[in-house]
Structure 1
Amino acid sequence: TFYMEADYGRSRVFRQDGDPEDVIQEAIDTCPVDCIHWVDYTKLKNLEDERQYQVIPRAGLPIDRSIVAAKIKERKLARKRRKKRT
């Protein structure tokens, strides 16, 4: 299952193991903007780290920029707190 993130120019997969490879390949082949592609597993961790503070709205809901900024700040503070505990 994927969701298009228009603000970031990419899509996001919610269940990377949710469908058989042929169904995933069909989604890749039929994507009108070529936003779906295979990613080497060894690069996945870096890609996930790059987007750790992204706030992804639920589909169909309007985006409130102040809420997005607050959530990003909240996630950063939570991460700092977790690092202090260890």
Structure 2
Amino acid sequence: MGIDPSVAFSAPAAPVTERSGLEPVLGGALRQEAVWVDEAVCIGCRYCAHVAGNTFVVEADWGRSRAIRQDGDSTETIQEAIDTCPVDCIHWVSYEELPELQEQTRHQELQPLGLPTPVRSRRTFPRREPH
């Protein structure tokens, strides 16, 4: 009998800790960076999702990778996923840059990958925000 894969979605990725005030979004001294995928450059190769599956997923409508959890995998695993990217579309950015980058992505013209003719010539619906 194998391990039930649904356990990965119910188990916490990191232990819950009390806020210290040093978190990056609170302006603390321990400034960390977030991982960001430039979906306009992504070719949908899925390497990052294979290496760091708790952090990256290939978005179903557009066929491009997206970072869905900042704490899904270790920094070393995320860096390995970045290093496997053949088009260098995954970047470390400051947490403060994320809202602006997400807004820019909403207005990018994208065509779904892997289809012989484009179904949509432009993103016509709001992106689903990560929870």
Distance 1:4 1:47 in 2: 9
Displacement of 1:32: 2.8
Cα deviations across residues 37-67 of structure 1 (Å, max 9, x unaligned)?
A: 211111110000011245674x7x52653x4
Higher fraction of helix:
1
Instruction: Tell me how far apart the structure 2 counterparts of residues 42 and 62 of structure 1 sit (CA, whole Å).
Output: 35
CA spacing shift, 1:69–1:13, aligned 2, 3 Å = same
**Structure 2: distance between partners of 1:24 and 1:70:** 30
Q: Determine helix, strand or coil for the equivalent of 1:51.
A: helix
> CA 1:48/1:63 → structure 2, altered by over 3 Å: closer, same or farther?
farther
**1:23 corresponds to 2:55:** no
Q: What TM-score, normalized to structure 1? A: 0.51
TM-score using structure 2 length:
0.37
User: Displacement of 1:12 after TM fit?
Assistant: 2.7
Q: Is 1:12 paired with 2:44?
A: no
Q: CA RMSD in A?
A: 3.4
SS of residue matched to 2:66: strand
* Aligned positions of 1:5-84 closer than 5 A: 5=39, 8-10=40-42, 11-53=65-107, 57=112, 62=115, 64-65=117-118, 67-69=119-121, 72=124, 75=125
Q: Give unmatched runs, 5+ long, in structure 1.
A: 77-86
Structure 2: tracts of 5 or more residues without a match = 1-35, 43-64, 127-131
Count residues in correspondence: 68
Percent of aligned pairs with the same residue? 43
